[in-house]
Amino acid sequence: MDCSTTRFVLILLLAAGLGACASVPPPESQMGKADLALRKAEQADAAHFAPLEMRTARTKLEAARVAMREEDNLEARRLAEQAKLDATLAEATAQAAQRQEATDTIRADIEALRVEAERASNRIPGETQ
């Protein structure tokens, strides 16, 4: 292959590559799913229980919005999908923390009842406190 043919082939490949990037549709669905996942995480109080994951999800969703405005749809899709995963992780982390708090409260209540029952069983009949 001579030099001009090689250049021509390279130009065609480059043009095809650029055309492929331009043909990626805007990731509207992924953006909506990421936004919904963030709202669900917020409702689960993830900002309190999983602040790092929430911050990461918000940052990635905002970066996806910027990429969409710049028509970098492939990057926008990637970031939106990551934002959704981060928000889902934040929601799950928050729910697990809330369940752990509830479990700890129940255990403390049971221990208080046990101590009170033990105290009551050690009292002399008719004794008041």
Q: Summarize pLDDT for 32-86 with one digit per residue, the tens.
A: 999 999 999 999 999 999 999 999 999 999 999 999 999 999 999 999 999 999 9
Q: How many residues does the chain have?
A: 129
Q: 23 falls in which pLDDT band (50, 70, 90)?
A: confident
d(CA 10, CA 4): 10
The residue assigned the tokens 């919904």 is 36
Which pLDDT belongs to residue 12? 65
> DSSP code of 36?
H
Q: Note the pTM of the prediction, 2 decimals.
A: 0.72
Half-sphere CA count of 68, side-chain side, radius 13 A: 19
How far, CA to CA in Å, does 88 sit from each of 20, 98, 100?
31, 15, 18
Residues 6+ apart with CB under 8 A from 111: none
* Average pLDDT estimate for 13-17: 61
